[in-house]
Amino acid sequence: MAEATGTNQTKSMDEIMALCKRRGFVFQASEIYGGINGFWDYGPLGAQLKKNLREAWWQDMIMLPCWGKKGPGGERVRCVPVETTIIQNPKVWEASGHVGGFNDPMVDDKETKQRFRADQLFGMFVALHPGTHADEKAQVVRRILQDIEDGLLPVRTFVASGDADVADAVENGKKLLKPYRVSDLAQWPLDAATVLVANGLDDSKNGEHLLCVFRPVPPAMLSDRSPAVPSPFSGKSGSLMPPRQFNLMFKTYIGATATEDDIAYLRPETAQGIFVQFKNVVDTTRVKVPFGVGNTGKSFRNEVTPRNFTYRSREFEQMELEFFCHPDESADWYRFWRDFRMEWWQSIGLAGDNLQLREHAKDELSHYSTGTSDVEYRFPFTAPGFGELEGIAHRGDYDLRQHQEHSGVKLEYFDTDRGELLPNGSKRGERYLPHCIEPAAGLDRGVLAILCESYTKDPSRPSPEIMRFHPRLAPIKAAVFPLVNKDGMPEVAEKLHTELQGKFGRAGFIETDAKQSIGKRYARMDEGGCPFCFTIDGDTLKDQTVTVRDRDTGAQERIGIGSVSKYLEERLGI
Ligand code: ATP
């Protein structure tokens, strides 16, 4: 039986990565030189898969936004594209706050030469406390948290970027506490972080309570006493340096002199290019608020710990929309886009339990945002937790206001459809800075989620590994096979192949192959995720029919050779 697609907990990232390499989806960048950390290349199938995902976004967000659905006020959703440069005037990044604030404090371990984000260091803190009654638990836990505030050092540390890492550490911690009969595991909220508590009773020690708390190492402890904190890599103390600010933007120099005055940055997001062209778009097109501007392309972040395959890379692609609307309507548009973005990811194959929409709690929001939600996917490496695929943020007028202040150029919009009615029948108009809703998606993370979701194992089939891509995204759209390489079959196959390539070739590969047994050829297509195989056999020559084989079920049916194009057109969704 095929693996349940509802969960990713049983899928192996190693197997998925091995298939990605074997079938040419993803390669390590500069592999023959030993690779380069945080950079990935796409092979032939991966490049086409990524293009199909980018085009699905472009089509459904810009050319026919939201599949023609009406906005919250019953209006048509209007969007236009821009394509802005990777290198902008450095003042853009000062205005956006990236030069000053796009920092992750990080810690170097001078012994192991490893580096990690300070906010990802968790500690296992252990202390003995008097008190035996269950009712006192909250009070006892508060006491150990106070101990930590007062400087209690962790006995172990570990780097954790998600719930799954913390859960692993708790499991390991339990083994260390075995002699103390670990009896309870509770969750304790502290500064929006998750704190896991295991408490146990050591019978031999006059009923004292042994408490073990897993929580982030407090920033003050790392700053003031970093050499005393044990290293997450060696377990020994003495090697951790105090955290340092580290700007995630890649620096470069413009021109040949390479002085401080020539510094520029590779963009860390595509969104700012939209804000700085807002006025030009309004002045040169007929768009009226509300409207959206989309931008896709490469972004660069000098991530401290690139990992989990392409999930956290240093060079990646984003697909961002800034939707500008009147402040009074912005809360409705925020909900509209949040819900549509969830629906969109579902429509291209991420249906089921592995996808969730998570509304940020108030204390997680940026100071300018009144609402942010993440579309999250349960990747095999985050399971049972989730990782961000896209963020949908209500950004208020923060960005336009910042750029207006820093550039000195008025970015207000004059809305001729608002204001009181004048005697001549027209409206007085209203001048305002539009509010902005930002659905910001990662294309590479999207591809990774699609790869993980599509990967299916079914040992009962000749092709035990199947990539169940949605036909719209599949990099190979169809294959045409002559059953045997003789008796006039190759010629018929060649003709059909040419016809399909002409019609569908812009959306993906149309394969043909006459070698090996038909079973092996099907298996190869299953691994590449080709949804439909058409086989020309002896009957084709007599009655002009071909076999269609469905990738997901393996079921076969016969259809007329003349209706193959229509059959594909109906199913590919392009
Ligand atoms: P994270 O918290 O994972 O670092 P973020 O909240 O900083 O992500 P945004 O600035 O909101 O991310 O960027 C929008 C999208 O860009 C993210 O949802 C993600 O899909 C993608 N993205 C961000 N950083 C990376 C990266 N280093 N590698 C790949 N994709 C990324």
* From 19-23, 366-370, 433-437, 462-466, the region with the lowest mean pLDDT: 366-370
Residues 398-404, mean pLDDT to the nearest whole number? 97
Q: Comparing 65 with 187, which gets the higher pLDDT? A: 65
- Of 191, 164, 183, 176, nearest in space to 124 by CA: 176
What pLDDT, on the 0 to 100 scale, is given for residue 106? Answer: 86
- Written as one string, the DSSP assignment of 340-356 is HHHHHHHHTT--STTEE
* From 142-156, 182-196, 209-223, 455-469, the region with the lowest mean pLDDT: 182-196
The pLDDT tens digits for 53-85 are: 999 999 999 999 999 999 999 999 999 999 999
Q: How far is the CA of 311 from the centre of ligand 1 (A)?
A: 9
Burial class (CB in 10 A: 0-12, 13-18, 19+), 519: exposed
Contact 563, 545 (CB under 8 A): no
CA distance 387 to 390: 9
3-state secondary structure of 461: coil
CA distance 36 to 266: 18
Probe residue for ligand 1, chosen from 102, 445, 451 as the CB with the greatest number of ligand atoms within 8 Å: 445
Whether the pLDDT of residue 201 is over 60: the answer is: no
CA distance 255 to 448: 37
* Residue indicated by tokens 């990605």: 20
Phi, psi of 137 (to 5 degrees): -55, -50
How many CA within 13 A on the CB side of residue 194?
15
The answer, yes or no, to whether any atom of ligand 1 lies below 6 A from the CB of 349, is: no
Whether the pLDDT of residue 182 is over 50: the answer is: yes
Q: How far is the CA of 442 from the centre of ligand 1 (A)?
A: 6
Contact 268, 99 (CB under 8 A): no
Whether the pLDDT of residue 337 is over 70: the answer is: yes
Residue 15, number of CB atoms within 10 A of its CB: 13
Helix (H) or strand (E) holding 27: strand 26-28
Q: How far is the CA of 390 from the centre of ligand 1 (A)?
A: 7
Per DSSP, 370 falls in state: S
Residue 181, number of CB atoms within 10 A of its CB: 11
- Of 512, 553, 510, 516, nearest in space to 536 by CA: 512
3-class SS letters over 491-533: HHHHHHHHHHHHHHCCCCEEEECCCCCHHHHHHHHHHHCCCEE
What pLDDT, on the 0 to 100 scale, is given for residue 187? Answer: 58
The pLDDT tens digits for 148-178 are: 888 899 999 999 877 778 778 888 887 877 7
Q: What single letter denotes the amino acid at residue 245?
A: Q
Contact 265, 252 (CB under 8 A): yes
Query: What percent of the chain has pLDDT above 90?
Result: 70
* Residue indicated by tokens 């006039």: 488
Closest ligand 1 atom to the C-alpha of 318? 16
Probe residue for ligand 1, chosen from 103, 318, 379, 447 as the CB with the greatest number of ligand atoms within 8 Å: 318
Q: What single letter denotes the amino acid at residue 291?
A: F
Probe residue for ligand 1, chosen from 274, 315, 316, 345 as the CB with the greatest number of ligand atoms within 8 Å: 316
Residue 217, number of CB atoms within 10 A of its CB: 25
The answer, yes or no, to whether any atom of ligand 1 lies below 6 A from the CB of 445, is: yes
Among positive and negative, which fits the CA dihedral 147, 153, 158, 159? positive
The answer, yes or no, to whether any atom of ligand 1 lies below 6 A from the CB of 318, is: yes
In this prediction, residue 269 has a pLDDT band, given cuts at 50, 70 and 90, of very high
- Of 281, 352, 345, 290, nearest in space to 323 by CA: 290
Supply the Cα-derived Rg of the chain in whole angstroms: 28
Whether the pLDDT of residue 9 is over 70: the answer is: no
The answer, yes or no, to whether any atom of ligand 1 lies below 6 A from the CB of 313, is: yes
Rounded to two decimals, the pTM is 0.83
In this prediction, residue 4 has a pLDDT band, given cuts at 50, 70 and 90, of very low
Residue nearest to atom 18 of ligand 1 (CA): 390
Question: What angle separates helix 489-504 from helix 564-572, to the nearest 10 degrees?
Answer: 40
What pLDDT, on the 0 to 100 scale, is given for residue 45? Answer: 98
* From 185-194, 332-341, 413-422, the region with the lowest mean pLDDT: 185-194
List, in sequence order, every beta strand (DSSP E) within 100-231. 106-109, 114-117, 121-129, 156-159, 182-190, 193-201, 209-216
Contact 414, 431 (CB under 8 A): yes
What pLDDT, on the 0 to 100 scale, is given for residue 365? Answer: 78
Residue nearest to atom 29 of ligand 1 (CA): 312
Closest ligand 1 atom to the C-alpha of 314? 27
Burial class (CB in 10 A: 0-12, 13-18, 19+), 297: middle
CA distance 528 to 517: 17
Query: What percent of the chain has pLDDT above 70?
Result: 91
3-class SS letters over 54-106: HHHHHHHHHHCHHHHCECCCCCECCEEECCCCCECCHHHHHHCCHHHHCECCE
Token representation of residue 468: 């169940």
How many CA within 13 A on the CB side of residue 78?
12
Residue nearest to atom 8 of ligand 1 (CA): 388
- Written as one string, the DSSP assignment of 409-424 is ----EEETT-SPBPTT
CA distance 165 to 188: 17
The answer, yes or no, to whether any atom of ligand 1 lies below 6 A from the CB of 270, is: no
Whether the pLDDT of residue 193 is over 50: the answer is: no
Contact 469, 454 (CB under 8 A): yes
Q: How far is the CA of 35 from the centre of ligand 1 (A)?
A: 22
Token representation of residue 507: 């959306």
Closest ligand 1 atom to the C-alpha of 387? 3
Q: Comparing 206 with 16, which gets the higher pLDDT? A: 16
Whether the pLDDT of residue 5 is over 50: the answer is: no
What pLDDT, on the 0 to 100 scale, is given for residue 521? Answer: 95
